[in-house]
Amino acid sequence: MHSPTRSRAQILGLAVFSLFAASATAQSMMLTKGQVVAQPGDTPIGLAVGESFGTATPFDFPVMSREGNILFRGRMVGASTTTLNDRALFIGRTKADLSVLVRANDPAPTGTFPNSVMVRLLTTTGLPVSSDIFNSPPRISPQGNRVLFHAQLYDGGNPGLDGLIHTTAAGTINDGVIFTGTPGALQVLAQQATTTMPGGAALSFTTTNFTQVATSLNSSGTVTFRSNLLGGDVSGTTNDTAWIIGTPGSLSYFLRENDLVLGGANGIGPGGLGSVCILNEAGDVLHDQTLSTSLGSSPATAANDKIAFLTLAGSGVHSQLMREGDLAPDSAGTPIPGVFYGQPLNLKLGPSATASFHSIMTGGVTTANDAAIFSGSLGNVKMLARKGDVVPGTGGATIGVITNNSVYSENHGVLFGLTMVVAGGVTINNDSALAIVKPSSSMNVIAREGDPCPGLPGYVFGIVTGTYNFGPSGAHQFNDRGQVLFQMFVRDPINSVQMLAVYSWDPVLGLQLQLMAGDTLGGGTVTTPGIPIGEVSNDGNGLAFNESGDFCARSVTSTGQFIARGHVGSLHGIPSAVPVAGGVPQNFDIDCTPAQASRLYFLLATGLGFEPGFVSPFGGQTVPLNPDPIWTDLSLNNPNSIVWPGSLGFLDAFGKNTLGPAAFLMPPGFPVFLGTTLHHAAVIVDISMGIATTFVTEPVPCYLY
Q: Supply the DSSP string of 470-530, one letter for each residue.
A: TTTT-EEEE-TTS-EEEEEEEEETTTTEEEEEEEEEETTTEEEEEEETT-EETTEEEEE--
Please compute the mean of the pLDDT values over residues 197-209 and round it to a whole number.
Answer: 88
Query: What are the backbone angles phi and psi of residue 323, rounded to the nearest 5°?
Result: -145, 135
**How open is the CA angle 446-448-454, to the nearest 5 degrees?**
70
What pLDDT score was predicted for residue 213? 72
Quick check: 24 pLDDT over 50? Answer: no
Percentage helix, strand, coil for the chain under 3-state DSSP, each rounded to 5: 5, 40, 50
Mean pLDDT to the nearest integer, 309-319: 96
Q: Pseudo-torsion of CA 398, 403, 404, 408, nearest 10°?
A: -70
User: Rounded mean pLDDT of the chain?
Assistant: 92
Residue closest to 487 by CA, chosen among 451, 443, 532: 532
Which of 134-138, 312-316, 699-703 shows the lowest mean pLDDT across its residues?
134-138
Q: Say how far apart CA 133 and CA 87 lie, in whole Å.
A: 8
pLDDT band of residue 26 (cuts 50, 70, 90) is: low
pLDDT (average), residues 237-246: 96
Lowest mean pLDDT among 13-22, 589-598, 607-616: 13-22
Question: What's the whole-number mean pLDDT along residues 459-467?
Answer: 89
- Over residues 256-268, the mean pLDDT reads 97
Phi, psi of 637 (to 5 degrees): -95, -5
The mean per-residue pLDDT over the stretch 596-601 comes to 97
In the chain, count H helices and then E strands. Answer: 4, 57
Distance CA 95, CA 40 (A): 12
- For strand 444-448 and strand 319-323, is the pairing parallel, antiparallel, or unpaired? unpaired
Domains in the chain with CATH codes: 8-23+570-704 (2.60.40), 257-387 (no CATH)
Q: What share of the chain has pLDDT > 70, as a percent?
A: 96
SS3 per-residue string spanning 38-86: ECCCCCCECCCCCCEECCCCCECCCEECCCCCEEEEEEEECCCCCCCCC
Q: If you average pLDDT over residues 502-513, what whole number do you get?
A: 97
**Gyration radius of the chain over CA positions:** 26
Say how many residues make up the chain: 705
- Mean pLDDT across 663-672: 96
Check if the beta carbon of residue 474 is closer than 8 Å to that of residue 486. yes
Q: Residue range 293-322: average pLDDT? A: 97
- Report the distance separating Cα 97 and Cα 577, nearest Å: 7
Q: Is the pLDDT of residue 135 over 90?
A: no
Contact 638, 604 (CB under 8 A): no
Is the predicted pLDDT of residue 2 greater than 90, yes or no? no
The whole-number average pLDDT for the span 521-548 is: 92
How far is CA 73 from each of CA 103, 216, 276, 561, rounded to the nearest angstrom? 10, 18, 24, 13
Would the pLDDT of 22 be above 80?
Answer: no
pLDDT at position 4 is 45
Contacts by 98-103, CB closer than 8 A, 24 or more apart: 98/37, 98/38, 98/42, 98/44, 98/45, 98/70, 99/44, 99/45, 99/46, 100/44, 100/45, 100/46, 100/47, 101/71, 101/147, 101/183, 102/134, 102/149, 102/151, 102/179, 102/186, 103/46
Q: Where are the beta strands (DSSP E) in 175-332?
A: 176-182, 185-191, 202-203, 216-217, 223-230, 241-247, 250-256, 260-261, 266-279, 285-291, 306-311, 319-323, 327-329
Residue 373 has pLDDT above 60, yes or no: yes
Mean pLDDT for 155-170 is: 81
- Does residue 577 carry a pLDDT above 70? yes
Each residue's pLDDT tens digit, 620-632:
999 999 999 989 9
Q: Which amino acid is at 215?
A: T
H/E segment holding residue 419? strand 413-420
Q: Which has more confidence, 462 or 11?
A: 462
Query: What is the DSSP pairing of strand 432-437 with strand 413-420?
Result: antiparallel
Question: Cα separation of 140 and 148, whole Å?
Answer: 6
Q: pLDDT of 72-88, one tens digit each?
A: 999 999 988 999 999 99
What's the confidence (pLDDT) of residue 158?
79
User: Per-residue pLDDT for 467 more than 90?
Assistant: no
Q: How many CA atoms lie within 13 A of 662 on its CB side?
A: 26
> Span 146-159, mean pLDDT?
90
Which range, of 151-165, 267-281, 633-647, averages the lowest pLDDT? 151-165
